[in-house]
Structure 1
């Protein structure tokens, strides 16, 4: 697979939207509905979908071929919809949060995972004509229907087309200022000229810490990266990293000009990113040794074909483990978090407020704060998110387990004005409740059970006692009444596996294998990746003292977004 094939912008694709190939049932009506979804500036419709999309498939073909033998029962969709809703409703952490629920994974990994997801997948979430969970009865599709009717709007390669689009000479030229990527400046005053309150997080004069905007719309390769403030600031870090690498190459390789200069910079950024995904991100969130086993021993389960695909067991179940890592509030910076001099504007940044300071905020961007760009007081202090040796437990993600924080049951940004006008309150509640939506989506898209996947991987299945360990009465009642102790939804199963096998500080054996094999396999399938080039950080950019970039905090330092 060529790295540059099919790169594109998903600037107006809001989180959860999807499209159908032209031969899928209802495709024409769905294309008409997607008037605001554009790829590289063009509305997706009809045959165009096949040209710009890549396939989804199943990691375990034998399980899919035997459908529904290894899946949740399909004979009573109404009953299963109710039982899955009850299970998801019970997957809620008690408030206030239990201090014992903190993991040893720094909080940045939650949103780094979201950034990766937006780089490799688009199309498996929320309400669509093909797979709608906001209905009274969710009907399960057959695996053949799913692979025919659902397409991935992203290349699964980790090639950062969510950042680069199709380059400065393509339809995504608005992202660029020459070979540099455009970065927006934060607001020091409101549009009325009043000063924004609070203290600076960045040095005086360093104000390029917002996404570049056309009005309130972020001009970026994937609009979902303006969904919440942490992932938006993560995207800003990569824009600035590209520009810092550009300056490094100009100094150290001055013979490069024009397109050759841009390609060299883009390759370096991609290689650093891919290497860090494998050696920092994956080694942090998966069981010890998993990554090295795959790098040295090869992929056993996910073997990408020439027309590489995205495994549904990964995108619909295993890779949604990050939802359980979300905190209900963050120590965000001096203004919205801990401040030694006691002048913080808020003692924490509640999770819901992180959606009020992005271009997707409702009813108005930046919480109606009088500015169409990010106020300077909301620039993130990455020092509170990235350090593994941090002595503050609240700077870490929540454990990977079956308990989600309460704000994830009321995801206001998941309900559109059309939803509010057309759907009854009960179905709007389904869209807002992340756990319920994930479970219903897995049922709809024919995801096999956790027990079936464990058997296919040769991993001992969780026992009934392990599935019930540490649960509240409501959750255990939902597991028992739903018949889920014998046939467990894969997403729930892998969260519970992490909880009982890794104490929530990493994925368990099955989850680790699916996640690591998929991401490493996608890099292996890309002929332009760092693995195919035999690249290491020793061949990348360096700090003035010769130091290498070997962690996400190093990349942030090089980009100038990690304060000293």
Structure 2
């Protein structure tokens, strides 16, 4: 992605940004001369894409005993060390329009709010564990990953129109079924409001269901384009799916990864190769270090509330300047409501659509930022609806669930992995808040918490750094390189061919995708 084009879209100088705030992050991933030690602790790659696996053969950060479980629950409990303690009594409007009300939960001025939900959409595309018991040690190699660990959009396409005809338009089977003409960007639903989509998690909240609907419409517009170009009818679906998937993969490599791990680390992995995630072709497994810890960094970026759209709620507060629909990401009072007061999924109502200008930068001044990457998590995430938890069981505090997952997978500590990777280690002095919990967590820190602290201390909360940045970059790029159908495997120098928002080709961002799909604010009047 050309830096000048991106600067215009985001209002951010990438060269200045990477040369300034992330200098510490760049230092943090410099490999020491003795880093060959890593060869001894990288797991053999003999595993299957159908199951989870490990990158490192290292001992767990702590034993799975009652003392450790109690310490993890204490760390992740409501009102505990990780709770940003957002003043929810101020209401969803004031918490997004007056971010200074949450001093423990600062904004990230270099990310837009949509980065979070694009990241969640991607997560649902390549990993889904609904079998392993929370907090009970489990062998990853016997635990199925019910998603294909490739960035191939099977969370959208399912098995295709022949295997999953319920996702497709019965009158035009190469197109997706879209209800209401896509007017409210809602996914197709049964009479009981259950979404008719390939991955039910893409109806967890209003933003992710809106993104899923945008991808349905994106595919349908690509079909229209191919037909207008005279592509034979029996080739349209496969060509459309490849175009959609490759443009999506381009966004991941050229927009999303540079935002979260820096442009420099992304470029280094693409140019010099992967050092740690190195499965053989056909064995591109989903590593538990990524699934259970590193990639969960995105939970730190979630805001307590969002403005869903600018004009969807006729009963909205006139003081906001328009009948906008604001809501907490989750609010217990929304349970059982037909049109919930919060932004949970699983419901249909005229106001429940996304005005994307809050989430991505369309240049109209309405975009809002993410929260910084740090060890504080927005308060509503400590009280999830059970419907938002795939297993449907407590605990309902998301941080507790993330921390107990370290026991499930017997994950090594952040310090152990940093040592194995030859990356400077954050020592106990970086975690003084963990000492009172006991269990030695300040010296042997759960990987998720360690990655968040790296982002906080080394990346200024703007990007990931150290262990987190390197492993996330290697897994993303590795899964693309090992997928024989991806653009990095088929045609590494390929560039986008669909027109962007300005009509040109050769680059493609989420703003361009939403514009092409005609769900941008200009085409929808959102």
Alignment of 1:397-546 (within 5 A): 397-414=370-387, 428=394, 431-468=395-432, 475-478=433-436, 481-534=438-491, 538-542=495-499, 546=503
Contact 1:330 1:350 in 2 (8 A): yes
Contact 1:409 1:433 in 2 (8 A): yes
Q: CA deviation at 1:391?
A: 5.8
Name the CA shift for 1:488/1:463 in 2 (closer, same or farther; >3 Å). same
Name the CA shift for 1:211/1:242 in 2 (closer, same or farther; >3 Å). same
Uncovered stretches (5+) of structure 2, i.e. residues with no partner: 1-47, 88-101
Alignment of 1:221-300 (within 5 A): 221-252=198-229, 254-258=230-234, 260-300=235-275
Name the CA shift for 1:388/1:94 in 2 (closer, same or farther; >3 Å). farther
Distance 1:319 1:543 in 2: 29
Distance 1:446 1:388 in 2: 44
- Deviation per residue, 1:70-117 (Å, 9 max, x gap): x2232x701111111111122110223228710121111111111111
Q: CA deviation at 1:180?
A: 0.8
1:325 aligns with 2:301: yes
1:207 aligns with 2:183: yes
Aligned to 1:180, the other structure's residue is in SS state: strand
- Deviation per residue, 1:104-159 (Å, 9 max, x gap): 21111111111111110111x6xx5x4234xxxxx444xxx3322x1101110100
Contact 1:229 1:355 in 2 (8 A): no
Contact 1:55 1:151 in 2 (8 A): yes
Residues matched between the structures, number: 447
Aligned to 2:309, the other structure's residue is in SS state: coil
State the partner residue of 2:42: none
1:154 aligns with 2:142: no
Scaled by the length of structure 1, the TM-score of the pair is 0.73
State the partner residue of 1:131: 133
State the partner residue of 1:73: 62
1:342 aligns with 2:313: no
1:553 aligns with 2:524: no
1:91 aligns with 2:91: no
Q: CA deviation at 1:413?
A: 2.6
State the partner residue of 1:14: none
Aligned partner (choices 336, 340, 351) of residue 363 of structure 1 = 336
Scaled by the length of structure 2, the TM-score of the pair is 0.78
Contact 1:316 1:442 in 2 (8 A): yes
CA RMSD of aligned residues (A): 3.0
Q: CA deviation at 1:484?
A: 1.0
Distance 2:486 2:259 in 1: 21
Distance 1:417 1:310 in 2: 19
Which stretch of structure 1 is more off in the superposition, 411-420 or 83-92? 411-420
State the partner residue of 1:180: 175
Contact 1:55 1:308 in 2 (8 A): no
Q: CA deviation at 1:410?
A: 0.4
Distance 1:345 1:272 in 2: 31
Contact 1:225 1:232 in 2 (8 A): yes
Distance 1:323 1:299 in 2: 26
Distance 1:388 1:175 in 2: 30
Name the CA shift for 1:286/1:94 in 2 (closer, same or farther; >3 Å). same
Aligned partner (choices 116, 119, 143) of residue 122 of structure 2 = 116
Q: CA deviation at 1:418?
A: 10
Contact 1:287 1:506 in 2 (8 A): yes
Distance 1:384 1:445 in 2: 37
- Deviation per residue, 1:197-234 (Å, 9 max, x gap): xxxxxxxxx72621012221211111110111100001
- Deviation per residue, 1:407-449 (Å, 9 max, x gap): 11100235889978xxxxxxx4xx2011111111112211110
Contact 2:50 2:285 in 1 (8 A): yes
